[in-house]
Amino acid sequence: MKAAIPRQQLLAKKSRPITGERPYTDSEIEVQLLELPGWSLRDSAIERSYAFRDYYDTIAFVNALAWMVHGEDHHPELIVSYNRCTVRFNTHSVAGMSENDFICAAKTDAVFGRAGN
C-alpha cells in the first residue's frame, strides 16, 4: 500500500509521465485525500469545487490554474459557471489515480489561496 504524501511534499513535487504503474487503490486514495481537505473521490476522479464572488474572479482562477497545470503537463476537467469552478483530476495512462493527481490537487488549492479567496 502506498503511504500518504504530506501536503507540503506534494507542493514541492512535479508531475511526471506515468507509464507502467498501477493506479492508486480506493483505500490509498482515501488515505491520500486526508492530506487534501475539500477534495473527494467521485466517478474515478478526485474533485473539488471552488466558490467565487463573480464570473470575473472565477475566470481569473481558471486562467491561473491553466498556467499551473500547463507547467505540470497534467490537465484537469473543469466545470465553470458564474461563481463556481469544479476541478477534476485523474490519470488516463493508468486508468485511475496517480501521484500526479494529488500533486496537482495540492497546487490547485495553492492557486486558489493566492487568489485571495
Structure-block grid coordinates of residue 25: 487503490
Task: State yes or no: pLDDT of 117 exceeds 60.
Answer: no
Residue 21 to residue 57: CA distance in whole angstroms: 38
3-state secondary structure of 91: strand
Arithmetic mean of pLDDT over the chain: 93
Could you tell me if 46 and 97 are in contact, meaning their C-beta atoms sit under 8 angstroms apart? Answer: yes
Residue 116 to residue 75: CA distance in whole angstroms: 23
Per-residue confidence (pLDDT) for residue 114, from 0 to 100 = 65
3-state secondary structure of 48: strand
Q: For 73-96, what is each residue's pLDDT tens digit? A: 999 999 999 999 999 999 999 999
The structure's pTM equals 0.93
CATH number of 42-117: 3.30.1360.20
Could you tell me if 55 and 82 are in contact, meaning their C-beta atoms sit under 8 angstroms apart? Answer: yes
- Domains of the chain: which residue ranges? 42-117
